Structures are given as structure tokens and as C-alpha cells.
Structure 1
Amino acid sequence: MLRPSPAPAPALRSVLTALGSPTAVSEARTPALRAAQGPLSPELPLPVHVLGVRGVAGSAAGGTGATVRPHTRLAGWRFLIRNGDRAIAAADTRLTPDGWSFSHFFEGPYVAATERALIQAEALCTPYQPRLLSVPELYMLTLWLHADPDADGHTAAPGPADLLVPLAPAPPGIAANRPYRVADLLPVLSLRLAPPPLLGSAAPA
């Protein structure tokens, strides 16, 4: 079962304003939104966190013992735009010096994949807080099921009890629509994100 974290009220208002007054925003509506018949409703708000890695120097000279540690940062809130019984697009918001504001509409495979993953996660017996974890360098998006459903959706890194569900299309070698334990998937992502060793540096033993 899912217990979504409530989105910031200004973020929701900015999306409603964009839907009601598309000429007031710089980004045009997507083809699906322009062709939609009937009301459009922003639903299922999800905090979008971005995954990166930090290098941590080891004790070896020249940093040859360096390791990487994953970290996340909140990048925005995403709303699925529903028309009738399905989501046809999504709206992203971002944090500015003046608060949360509308960023852009978009559509594509991740919209349907997100909706599908949320429906599957709703059937789980364990309560989770749904989030999105983006890995831009790998062109990857996952549904992040946080094991503390009462946590602040703005904070926290993936924990050992969390699940990560890669959305289709997923990078080669990573199965889409399959829930992974953080301990199984995060090291794989960290390895792919780690910078290559400098030419001429000694390989770690």
C-alpha cells in the first residue's frame, strides 16, 4: 500500500494555473494535452530526487583507494495529469528563490510506466511512501518506495528497507518493473556513475 507525502501547496497551485492558463507559461502543452477532451486533473504528486555520487578519498597515496558514496537531492515535484481514467502527461515543478513554481509539461514512456508501477506498488502489503529517483547520467528513472511512510518527502537517502523499481525503458542490464532492494541496485548504479580512473594512476590492489 502507498502513503504519498503531500505536495507543497504552491507547487500544486502552479500546475493548476498552468493547466488553466497555458498562454501564461513559456512551455507549450504537449500533443496529448492539446488533444484531450474533458477535464485535466493533476494527481499522484511525487517528490523527484536526483541520485549522484561523491568521491571519498582513501588512505592510499594519490587517492587510489578512493570510493564513491551515493547521495540524493530533492529536485522537484511531479504530478501525473489525468484525463478520464488514465494519465496522459506529467507536470514538473521546481524550487526557485520565490518558492515552488511550474517548470514544464511532458509526455512519453515514463508517464505510463510511473502509473503502472504505482498501481503495482499499491497492491503490496507493506506501507511505503512513493517517490521518484532520477539518475540523469544513466537516463534512468525509478519508483522509490521509502519504507518510512510518515517521513518528510523532502529528505532522506534510500535506506536498507527501501525498494527501487526501475521504470521502462531501463538501462541495459537492469530489469524494468522489478523491485530491487537498495543493497542490490544502489552499488550497481554507483559503479556506473563513478568516474573512470585517471590515466597513469595505479590500479587499486
Structure 2
Amino acid sequence: MPVLNPTAPAAAERSIRTALHPATRRAPHPLYLDHGALDLALPLPVHRLSPVTGSAAPPDARLTGWRFLLTRDGRAVGAAETARTPEGWAFSHFCEGPYIASTERAVRLAESLPAPYQPRLLSVPELYMLTLWLHSDPAADPAEGSPQPQDLLIPLAPAPPGIAADRAVRTDVLLPVLSTRLAPVGLAS
């Protein structure tokens, strides 16, 4: 079943298009920007996970930006991200590396699942981890909500050691694993 991509705010998309324009590009910038026009694809809201405590309540997540894949001739060559500011949406940075291809693989996996989902990105900064979060309510406001037990998370490669990348895992299974990774180390007696 296809994933139901949310619509990004027009101001977020505008900020990316402005950053892509040769006259407004910041230096240094990725070389792929110098080789012809790029299309924006797969806008995904980026949420940051609050610290995972291991309690029964799901951790909170807050919207921090929107990420767009940058494509040329139908092939992803990078990504661009916006950030929420008091004035609205502003270009934040360009992204390169393995998360680009892993995002594409995770979306293909999500499209093969029997139920519809709303794709989002979920960042776990304490573990340097990024996941494709498949929210079980495809009609939900993409700016709201926290991971629910029935939602799926697909850790993007490279995932932290001991966490399988590119596999869909229920939130109520993966978050306890993350909480043990994030638990403070006890003091030696």
C-alpha cells in the first residue's frame, strides 16, 4: 500500500528553492549543486525524539524541520533541510551520505507494507540515529504527535551497533532497546 506523504508547508519548500538558486547559494556547498537543475522529492517532517526513559508512556517528539530529497533525472543525489524559526521556515543545511539511499530503501519497504502510513523522520540525537517513522494515522497533522506503540520505525543505515537498519520494527519493541542504550551507566561500588 502506498505511503501517504504529507504536504510540506509552502514556506519550507520556498526556503529550499531559494537555497538552491545559484545567486543565493552559500559557500561551501555540495558539488552536486553545480551540475544542473534539481527537483524536490519526498518532503518528510523531521521530528526529534525526547530522551527515552523506559517508562510506559511513549516519549514525546517535536517537529524541528522538513527534509526534501534532491533528485536529478529521478535519482536522489542529496537532501536539503529546513528548520523552524520564530519567523517561520528557514533553510538549514544540505545533506549527503548514506542516509539518502537508506531513506529511499526505507520508503520502498514502507510501500510494500499492507497498511497505509504517514512517513516522517525521527531523530534520536543521543545515539546519532535517524529512522523513518511510519505513523499509523496517515491523515494526522504531520507537525503533531509522538510515536505510538503501533507505529513502525525503520532505522536508517548506518544504525547504531546492535540495531538492524532497513527493517521495520514496532515502536513498542524498538523504544525499550533505545532506552537501555540511553540509560545512565551506574557508578561502580
TM-score where L is the length of structure 2: 0.91
Q: Deviations over 1:17-63 (max 9, x none)?
A: 11114x425453212333x3x4201111001111122669xxxxxxx
| Partner of residue 44 from structure 1, selected from 38, 42, 45 | 42
Q: Tell me, what secondary structure is at the counterpart of 1:185?
A: helix
State the Cα distance separating 1:69 from its structure 2 match.
6.2
Distance 1:27 1:159, change over 3 A: farther
Deviates more, 1:117-126 or 1:92-101: 117-126
> What's the % identity of the aligned pairs?
56
CA distance in 1, matches of 2:86, 2:178: 31
| Deviations, residues 137-166 of structure 1 (Å, cap 9, x unaligned) | 111111000000000111111112110001
Unaligned runs of 5+ in 2: none
Q: Match for 1:50: what amino acid?
A: R
Q: Which amino acid aligns with 1:42?
A: L
CA contact (8 A) 1:55 1:68 kept: no
Q: Structure 2 CA distance, aligned partners of 1:129 and 1:178?
A: 17
Q: CA deviation at 1:199?
A: 6.8
Alpha carbons 1:53, 1:68 under 8 Å: kept: no
1:193: which partner in 2? Answer: 182
Query: Counterpart in 1 of 2:172?
Result: 183
Q: Distance in 2 between matches of 1:197 and 1:168?
A: 30
Count how many residue pairs are aligned between Structure 1 and Structure 2.
188
**Partners of 2:40 and 2:68 within 8 A in 1:** yes
Gaps of 5+ in 1: 57-65, 201-205
**Closer, same or farther in 2 for the Cα pair 1:67/1:158, shift >3 Å?**
closer
Indicate whether 1:31 and 2:20 are aligned. Answer: no
Which residue number in structure 2 is paired with residue 18 of structure 1? Answer: 19
1:41-92 CA-to-partner distances (Å, cap 9, x unmatched) read 1111001111122669xxxxxxxxx999622111111000011121100001
What CA distance in whole angstroms lies between the structure 2 residues aligned with 1:74 and 1:150? 16
